[in-house]
């Protein structure tokens, strides 16, 4: 049967076939030369081309169509490769310098995002519009970049680049809309040719070493600017903020100074902004340094999400109108200014977005409005520390995660509140009273609780064992820091602490706790504890032997109590201990010689034990509060550097160099010391103490110790402070102590020492007579008593002592003195028998 179709319809049909064919070719893909080019590029790019997913198909039978490969973007119409995204291409990246020819196949490349360790050339990419070379280690800018005059967006951020910008090339890129040079070391003045970059929308120059003035004629010509960040440079002079007045598109302005003397004037000449900012950060610059006023242009801002005016010495009333005006405000940072007056909340609307308020270190007075949690229902961080707030703490805290009200004048009892969402609560240094946390309070998520330096009083309910409901703080399984120090708490050390399985830093010092430490090791979940500080209480009884179950303990502070009996040898089992204070107790018996078994100096551990990271603090992920669209993916403005200090650092006090020093965080890792002073310890000083070669401070003063100062003390090579005063030590001061090069405080006063004082060499040249006074038989400078000939030639240490010294010392002593004597006699003999000229010749 003949086909009924006419010639015309057949042609029409054919055309359709061709179109279908063409269409399928189109979807099949990319141009063969470009596909081959991509394979070549991938081979050059990666050590292990097969291992990396970049520049390969994502499966689903798309091997042919390179337009669908990862990292490749093609033009819809021409199917030519228009974008290549090869940054951060994974650990398979080669250390490479791409040949320019590798990019030759991609005639229409517009976007190129590249990870490269150096770059030889990028020629012939005449269509390139975006070049992203951020986060590499370029070290040098390939000059061919400056010929890419079609570029609209360029990022060289974070490349270790420094020196002056090569202006001859740079100034050609006048079509740039986005320029990101942040996180390098670029120097010199801002290039004046920036004035020719009239299309610029984004200017990110933070974290460089640009210097000189910020020119006031720059911004009026850059009318398209939306984003400006100039933070952390070396700018000087006075920047007139009003020069931005007509930048009607400006949304983000960031300038954080580093005390370089840059002054910022926002008031003169009078002006009205055409912009509505979303992010305004102007911190630590000399802002309006004469008038100290808040920038008045803020009266006309209603779109702000982020305000950071911290560290500016601004005076005047706290600008709550700014909060009222900007209903979408999320982040308010006004710390370290001189703002006054009470915090009022006459807001017409709730601020649903507000999650961070920091007005710490100002002069705010009055009460904390109880409405705060309804005005800001989603507030997560509130820092009002170091102001003059008074009155009571409002009963409702909403969903706060972090509350810092320390260093104010809050009074009254802690309200019964739901603390369930709180992770960090700091109320230190106020006038709060009553129970530290009401028994009924829910503190499930509490990680750090600082209630020190208040007037909390009474006994802490002991806990489940003894029926009463345990105090609130005994209920958080997450609690790492607990500081109840400097209050008026009484009764026994709370036994409910054993419920705290995560507790690491326990401070109960300076209270009225009494009685013995519990006689079982379950005081706290023993193995987690790093600091145990009960100094300055009225604790009694023996130091329990179970102390060795604190296997992680670094700091043990039992000083200024009434502990009695011997120092338990179990103390020597504390393999991680660094600081021991048993001073000012009634301890008796000998110093255990096993003490040398504690290492004191082992800081091999990679993790800093004196820090804790608050888990779950990612709720503060700042990236959510403002999103700015830009091609270069520039970081969220205003977020950098404003991250809550999730690194909480332990702080400990210890007397060294005759002063009470505070050691915080990391420093603690480098401190080690033992203070046994002001006890009733007897017997000799064990020579094994000399093996504590990492010890920095040793205080054995005010005891009843006898015998000699061990020679082995000359091995305490790190020691800075050594106090042996007010004992009954006798014999000579070992002359080799002068080898202790870090010693800056040394005293052996009020003992029965005899013989010559150590040579006035090295550190010993700095010690005056107070180091030695009260030893009637000591002689030599700096004492007034001169040594007699007998004392000059004072005998080596008593043989009976040398016997109990370690073998090294015995060997040393038995060889040193004879050798010295032989050499000395030998020289005399030579001088005596040789004629002068022969002696010279022989020398
Ligand atoms: C290109 O084509 C894809 C799929 O047909 C479509 O989703 C996309 O929007 C197009 N892009 C442009 C720039 O036309
Ligand atoms: C750039 O283009 C010129 C002229 O089209 C050509 O001679 C040269 O080889 C090209 N350079 C590279 C690296 O491909
Ligand atoms: C701006 O560009 C013009 C030429 O396009 C040039 O003459 C002038 O010097 C440039 N200005 C600056 C400040 O570099
Ligand atoms: C802003 O524009 C106004 C009106 O054109 C003008 O008077 C003023 O000088 C301009 N200010 C700046 C800083 O360019
Ligand atoms: C407080 O701000 C001043 C500048 O006004 C600055 O010098 C000082 O370092 C800041 N203090 C703190 C603790 O940041
Ligand atoms: C912003 O606050 C100022 C000062 O209270 C006020 O004069 C102005 O009317 C407020 N603007 C708006 C839009 O509420
Ligand atoms: C609240 O609203 C009232 C009435 O609309 C208005 O008069 C007042 O200025 C507003 N207060 C604030 C702080 O915006
Ligand atoms: C609160 O602010 C003070 C002073 O600005 C600061 O030292 C402290 O770390 C802040 N507290 C928290 C929890 O961030
Ligand atoms: C603290 O508050 C009490 C009253 O609660 C008051 O007597 C005292 O003067 C205040 N102290 C300071 C420094 O403001
Ligand atoms: C404490 O708070 C947690 C979390 O909100 C909740 O699950 C728990 O039931 C609360 N416990 C009490 C006793 O209120
Ligand atoms: C300490 O608490 C006791 C009662 O436990 C009380 O009698 C005493 O006055 C308080 N001392 C101070 C200084 O608050
Ligand atoms: C280049 O990248 C930008 C931002 O990612 C995008 O908007 C633009 O469409 C891209 N152009 C091409 C040709 O891929």
Ligand 11 atom 12, closest CA? 488
Three-state secondary-structure class, residue 682: strand
Q: What residues are paired with 746 via a beta bridge?
A: 722
Cα distance between residue 621 and residue 634, in whole Å: 16
Ligand 3 atom 1, closest CA? 196
pLDDT at residue 163, as a whole number: 94
**Phi/psi at 820 (5° precision):** -60, -45
What distances in angstroms separate CA 704 from CA 156, 587, 692, 718, one per listed residue? 70, 11, 22, 26
Nearest to 714 by CA among 762, 682, 778: 762
Ligand 8 atom 9, closest CA? 645
Ligand 7 atom 8, closest CA? 348
pLDDT at residue 815, as a whole number: 32
Cα distance between residue 207 and residue 189, in whole Å: 14
pLDDT at residue 50, as a whole number: 60
Q: What is the mean pLDDT of residues 352-370?
A: 93
Residue 375 Cβ < 6 Å to ligand 7 = no
Ligand 6 atom 14, closest CA? 325
Percent above pLDDT 70 for the chain: 77
The CATH code of the domain that includes 757 is 3.80.10.10
698 and 778 fall within a common domain: yes
Task: Give the model's confidence band at 567: pLDDT under 50 very low, under 70 low, under 90 confident, else very high.
Answer: very high
Residue 246 Cβ < 6 Å to ligand 4 = yes
How far is ligand 2, taken at its centre, from the CA of residue 101, in Å?
8
Residue 395 has pLDDT above 80, yes or no: yes
Cα distance between residue 617 and residue 816, in whole Å: 62
Which ligand does the CA of 417 lie closest to? Answer: 10
Q: What residues are paired with 113 via a beta bridge?
A: 85, 132
The verdict on residue 711 lying in a domain is yes
Q: 137 or 255, which is more confident?
A: 255
Residue 90 Cβ < 6 Å to ligand 5 = no
Residue ranges in 190-253 assigned as alpha helix (H)? none
Three-state secondary-structure class, residue 625: helix
Return the best residue to mutate from 297, 318, 320, 325 for the ligand 6 pocket (most ligand atoms within 8 A of CB): 325
Q: What residues are paired with 265 via a beta bridge?
A: 240
Q: What residues are paired with 656 via a beta bridge?
A: 659
Give, as one character, the DSSP assignment of residue 398. T
Name, of 86-90, 335-339, 809-813, 832-836, the range with top average pLDDT. 335-339
Cα distance between residue 771 and residue 162, in whole Å: 54
Q: What is the mean pLDDT of residues 253-260?
A: 90
Task: Give the model's confidence band at 174: pLDDT under 50 very low, under 70 low, under 90 confident, else very high.
Answer: very high
Burial of 414 (0-12, 13-18, 19+ CB in 10 A): buried
Query: Which residue carries 């705010």 as its tokens?
Result: 364
| 472 touches 466 (CB < 8 A) | no
How far is ligand 8, taken at its centre, from the CA of residue 675, in Å?
32
Cα distance between residue 625 and residue 173, in whole Å: 33
| 564 touches 542 (CB < 8 A) | yes
Residue 800 Cβ < 6 Å to ligand 7 = no
228: left (phi over 0), alpha (psi -120 to 50) or beta: beta
552 and 653 fall within a common domain: yes
Residue 324 Cβ < 6 Å to ligand 7 = yes
560 and 581 fall within a common domain: yes
Residue 836 has pLDDT above 80, yes or no: no
Q: 661 or 366, which is more confident?
A: 366
pLDDT at residue 837, as a whole number: 39
- Token output for 432: 């709060």
- Token output for 82: 């228009």
**DSSP count for the chain of H helices, then E strands:** 9, 54
My answer on whether omega of the bond before 269 falls inside 30° of 0, hence cis, is yes
Q: What is the mean pLDDT of residues 108-125?
A: 74
Cα distance between residue 337 and residue 309, in whole Å: 8
Burial of 368 (0-12, 13-18, 19+ CB in 10 A): buried
What distances in angstroms separate CA 130 from CA 106, 134, 233, 249, 629, one per listed residue? 14, 12, 26, 22, 15
Q: What residues are paired with 449 via a beta bridge?
A: 425, 482
Query: Which residue carries 């008074």 as its tokens?
Result: 390
Three-state secondary-structure class, residue 262: coil
Cα distance between residue 266 and residue 288, in whole Å: 7
| 334 touches 359 (CB < 8 A) | yes
The verdict on residue 692 lying in a domain is yes
Listing DSSP states for 481-494 in one string gives EEE--SSEEEESPP
| Residue 322 Cα to chain centre, angstroms | 32
787 and 822 fall within a common domain: no
Residue 92 has pLDDT above 70, yes or no: no
pLDDT at residue 19, as a whole number: 40
Residue 312 Cβ < 6 Å to ligand 5 = yes
Residue 250 has pLDDT above 50, yes or no: yes
- HEC profile of 492-540: CCCHHHHHCCCCCEEECCCCEEEEECCCCHHHCCHHHCCEEECCCCEEE
How far is ligand 3, taken at its centre, from the CA of residue 435, in Å?
72
Residue 220 Cβ < 6 Å to ligand 4 = yes
How far is ligand 11, taken at its centre, from the CA of residue 554, in Å?
32
Residue 504 has pLDDT above 80, yes or no: yes
| 159 touches 145 (CB < 8 A) | no
Ligand 10 atom 14, closest CA? 442
The verdict on residue 108 lying in a domain is no
828 and 765 fall within a common domain: no
Cα distance between residue 164 and residue 185, in whole Å: 9
Cα distance between residue 489 and residue 44, in whole Å: 70
Q: Return mean pLDDT, the chain.
A: 81
Ligand 8 atom 4, closest CA? 360
Q: What residues are paired with 655 via a beta bridge?
A: 660
Residue 409 Cβ < 6 Å to ligand 9 = yes
Ligand 6 atom 13, closest CA? 325
The verdict on residue 701 lying in a domain is yes
How far is ligand 12, taken at its centre, from the CA of residue 111, in Å?
6
The verdict on residue 735 lying in a domain is yes
Residue 147 has pLDDT above 80, yes or no: yes
pLDDT digits (tens, 9 = 90+) for 445-494: 888 899 999 999 988 765 444 447 556 677 788 888 899 999 999 988 88
pLDDT at residue 165, as a whole number: 94
How far is ligand 2, taken at its centre, from the CA of residue 104, in Å?
8
792 and 821 fall within a common domain: no
How far is ligand 6, taken at its centre, from the CA of residue 276, in Å?
14
Residue 346 Cβ < 6 Å to ligand 6 = no
Burial of 246 (0-12, 13-18, 19+ CB in 10 A): middle
Which ligand does the CA of 77 lie closest to? Answer: 1
Ligand 10 atom 11, closest CA? 442
Q: What is the mean pLDDT of residues 522-539?
A: 83
**Phi/psi at 411 (5° precision):** -135, -175
Q: 328 or 62, which is more confident?
A: 328
Q: Which domain holds residue 743?
A: 543-607+643-796
| 113 touches 130 (CB < 8 A) | yes
What distances in angstroms separate CA 133 from CA 66, 136, 154, 179, 202, one per listed residue? 23, 7, 8, 12, 16
721 and 827 fall within a common domain: no
The verdict on residue 763 lying in a domain is yes
How far is ligand 3, taken at its centre, from the CA of residue 234, in Å?
26
| 700 touches 725 (CB < 8 A) | no
668 and 814 fall within a common domain: no
Q: 180 or 31, which is more confident?
A: 180
Q: What residues are paired with 674 via a beta bridge?
A: 580, 698
Q: Strand runs (DSSP E) across 772-816, as ranges?
A: 777-779
Name, of 425-439, 611-625, 655-669, the range with top average pLDDT. 425-439
Ligand 7 atom 7, closest CA? 348
pLDDT at residue 829, as a whole number: 37
703 and 597 fall within a common domain: yes
672 and 707 fall within a common domain: yes
User: Considering all CA atoms of the chain, what is the largest pairwise distance in Å, rounded to the nearest integer?
Assistant: 143
Span of 153-157, 310-314, 614-618, 830-834 with lowest mean pLDDT: 830-834
Residues having CB closer than 6 A to ligand 12 are 73, 82-83, 110-111, 130, 631
Cα distance between residue 793 and residue 802, in whole Å: 18
Cα distance between residue 400 and residue 403, in whole Å: 7
The verdict on residue 759 lying in a domain is yes
Residue 144 Cβ < 6 Å to ligand 2 = no
Three-state secondary-structure class, residue 690: helix
Give, as one character, the DSSP assignment of residue 93. B
Q: What is the mean pLDDT of residues 824-828?
A: 37
Number of domains the chain contains? 2
pLDDT at residue 256, as a whole number: 94
pLDDT digits (tens, 9 = 90+) for 628-664: 456 666 654 433 223 344 456 777 777 777 777 777 7
Residue 88 has pLDDT above 80, yes or no: no
Three-state secondary-structure class, residue 172: coil
pLDDT at residue 361, as a whole number: 98
- HEC profile of 421-432: CCCEEECCCCEE
740 and 695 fall within a common domain: yes
pLDDT at residue 409, as a whole number: 97
Ligand 9 atom 2, closest CA? 409
694 and 826 fall within a common domain: no
Span of 92-106, 315-329, 688-702 with lowest mean pLDDT: 92-106
pLDDT at residue 128, as a whole number: 87
Nearest to 503 by CA among 477, 522, 471, 469: 477
How far is ligand 1, taken at its centre, from the CA of residue 77, in Å?
9
Which ligand does the CA of 144 lie closest to? Answer: 2
How far is ligand 7, taken at its centre, from the CA of residue 302, in Å?
14
pLDDT digits (tens, 9 = 90+) for 182-235: 999 999 999 999 999 999 999 999 999 999 999 999 999 999 999 999 999 999
| Residue 692 Cα to chain centre, angstroms | 30
Q: 617 or 775, which is more confident?
A: 775
Q: What is the mean pLDDT of residues 27-44?
A: 79
Cα distance between residue 483 and residue 506, in whole Å: 6
How far is ligand 4, taken at its centre, from the CA of residue 232, in Å?
28
Which secondary-structure segment (H or E) carries 375?
Answer: helix 372-375
């Amino acid at each position: 049967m003949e086909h009924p179709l006419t010639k015309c319809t057949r042609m029409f049909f054919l055309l359709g076939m061709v179109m279908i064919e063409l269409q399928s070719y189109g979807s099949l893909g990319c141009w063969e030369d470009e596909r081959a080019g991509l394979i070549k590029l991938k081979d050059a790019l990666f050590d292990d081309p097969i291992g990396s997913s970049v520049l390969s198909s994502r499966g689903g039978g798309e091997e042919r169509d390179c337009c669908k490969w990862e990292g490749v973007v093609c033009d819809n119409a021409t199917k030519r490769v228009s974008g290549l995204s090869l940054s951060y291409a994974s650990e398979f990246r080669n250390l490479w310098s791409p040949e320019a020819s590798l990019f030759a196949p991609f005639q229409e490349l517009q976007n190129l995002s590249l990870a490269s360790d150096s770059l030889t050339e990028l020629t012939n990419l005449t269509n390139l519009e975006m070049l992203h070379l951020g986060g590499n280690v370029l070290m040098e800018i390939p000059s061919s970049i400056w010929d890419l005059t079609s570029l609209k967006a360029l990022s060289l951020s974070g490349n270790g680049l420094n020196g002056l910008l090569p202006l001859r090339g740079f100034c050609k890129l006048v079509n740039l809309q986005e320029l990101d040079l942040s996180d390098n070391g670029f120097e010199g003045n801002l290039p004046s040719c920036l004035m020719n970059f009239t299309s610029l929308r984004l200017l990110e120059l933070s974290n460089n070493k640009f210097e000189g003035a910020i020119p006031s004629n720059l911004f009026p010509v850059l009318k398209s600017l939306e984003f400006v960040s100039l933070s952390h440079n070396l700018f000087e002079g006075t920047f007139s903020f009003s020069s931005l007045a007509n930048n009607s598109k400006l949304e983000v302005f960031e300038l954080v100074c580093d005390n370089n003397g840059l002054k910022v004037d926002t008031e003169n000449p009078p002006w009205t902004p055409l912009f509505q900012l979303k992010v305004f950060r102007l911190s630590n610059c000399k802002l309006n340094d004469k008038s100290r006023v808040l920038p008045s242009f803020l009266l006309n801002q209603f779109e702000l999400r982020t305000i950071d005016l911290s560290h500016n010495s601004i005076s005047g009333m706290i600008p709550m109108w700014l909060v009222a005006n900007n209903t979408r405000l999320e982040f308010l940072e006004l710390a370290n200014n001189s703002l006054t007056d009470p915090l009022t909340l006459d807001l017409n609307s709730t601020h649903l977005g507000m999650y961070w308020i920091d007005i710490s270190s100002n002069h705010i007075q009055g009460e904390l409005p109880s409405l705060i949690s309804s005005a800001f229902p989603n507030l997560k961080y509130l820092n009002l520390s170091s102001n003059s707030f008074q009155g009571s703490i409002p009963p409702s805290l909403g969903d706060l995660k972090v509350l810092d009200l320390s260093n104010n004048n809050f009074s009254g009892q802690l309200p019964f509140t739901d603390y369930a969402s709180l992770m960090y609560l700091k109320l230190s240094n106020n006038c709060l009273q009553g129970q530290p946390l009401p028994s009924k309070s829910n503190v499930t998520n509490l990680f750090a609780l600082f209630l020190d330096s208040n007037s909390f009083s009474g006994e802490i309910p002991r806990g489940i064992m003894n029926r009463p409901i345990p105090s609130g703080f005994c209920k958080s399984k997450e609690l790492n820091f607990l500081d109840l120090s400097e209050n008026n708490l009484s009764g026994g050390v709370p036994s409910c602490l054993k419920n705290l399985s995560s507790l690491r830093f326990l401070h109960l010092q300076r209270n009225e706790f009494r009685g013995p430490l519990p006689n079982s090791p379950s005081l706290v979940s023993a193995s987690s504890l790093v600091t145990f500080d009960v100094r300055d209480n009225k604790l009694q009884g023996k130091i329990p032997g179970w102390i060795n179950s604190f296997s992680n303990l670094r700091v043990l502070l039992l000083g200024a109590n009434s502990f009695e009996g011997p120092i338990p040898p179990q103390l020597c089992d504390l393999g991680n201990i660094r600081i021991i204070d048993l001073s000012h107790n009634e301890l008796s018996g000998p110093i255990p010689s096993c003490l040398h078994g504690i290492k004191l100096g082992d800081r091999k551990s990679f993790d800093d034990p004196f820090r804790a990271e608050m888990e779950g603090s990612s709720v503060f992920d700042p990236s959510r509060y403002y999103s700015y669209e830009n091609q270069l993916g520039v970081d969220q403005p205003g977020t950098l550097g404003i991250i809550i200090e999730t690194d909480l650092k332990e702080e400990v006090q210890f007397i060294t160099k005759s002063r009470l020093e505070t050691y915080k965080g990391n420093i603690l890792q480098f401190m080690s010391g033992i203070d046994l002073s002001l006890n009733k310890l007897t017997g000799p000083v064990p020579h094994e103490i000399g093996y504590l070669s990492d010890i920095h401070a040793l205080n054995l003063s005010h005891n009843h110790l006898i015998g000699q100062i061990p020679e082995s003390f000359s091995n305490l090579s790190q020691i800075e402070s050594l106090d042996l005063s007010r004992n009954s030590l006798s014999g000579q001061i070992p002359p080799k102590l002068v080898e202790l090069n870090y010693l800056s405080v040394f005293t052996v006063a009020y003992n029965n020492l005899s013989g010559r004082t150590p040579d006035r060499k090295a550190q010993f040249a700095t010690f005056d007579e107070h180091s030695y006074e009260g030893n009637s038989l000591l002689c030599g400078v700096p004492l007034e008593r001169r040594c007699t000939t007998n004392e000059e030639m004072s005998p080596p240490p008593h043989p009976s002592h040398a016997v109990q010294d370690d073998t090294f010392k015995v060997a040393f002593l038995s060889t040193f003195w004879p050798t010295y004597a032989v050499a000395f006699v030998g020289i005399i003999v030579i001088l005596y028998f040789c004629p002068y000229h022969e002696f010279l010749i022989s020398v």
